[in-house]
């Protein structure tokens, strides 16, 4: 049996562009893609912290070092420039893969600079 687990996350990324008339996708700075282990054309889930919207699209490479996070096409209706979002990828893993799996977590500041990276989500306390 396979289970779906988080593989990569860009936490609190800021939308820099919303291009309604561009082919649907989300352009992400190549440096950020690499740090989170997200591949070009990989399906991504985007969770908009500002309005609660949750939607799927695919990643395309944005200019390296640009800090771009551009929602394009229909996705541009789900997020505005300046919105904070969480961008995640998932994979179906079997029990053997799960035993050693750790996601690539990338935490960003308000300018999409990497603040820190991790392989573990902090334990939530009551």
Q: Is 25 a catalytic residue?
A: yes
Alpha-helix residue ranges (DSSP H) falling in the chain: 30-36, 95-100
**β-pairing verdict for 25-29 and 114-118:** unpaired
**Signed CA dihedral, 69, 72, 75, 81: sign only:** positive
Selected catalytic residue, list 22, 47, 58, 107: 58
Q: Active-site residue numbers? A: 25, 58
């Amino acid at each position: 049996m396979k289970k779906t687990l988080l593989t990569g996350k860009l936490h609190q990324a800021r939308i820099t562009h919303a291009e309604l008339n561009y082919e649907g996708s989300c352009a992400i700075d190549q440096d950020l893609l690499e740090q989170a282990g997200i591949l070009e054309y990989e399906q991504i889930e985007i969770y908009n912290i500002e309005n609660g919207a949750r939607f799927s699209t695919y990643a395309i490479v944005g200019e390296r070092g640009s800090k771009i996070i551009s929602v394009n096409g229909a996705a541009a209706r789900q997020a505005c420039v300046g919105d904070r979002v969480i961008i995640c990828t998932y994979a179906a893993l079997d029990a053997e893969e799960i035993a050693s799996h750790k996601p690539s977590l990338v935490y960003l500041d308000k300018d999409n600079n990497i603040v820190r990276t991790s392989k573990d989500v902090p334990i939530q306390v009551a």
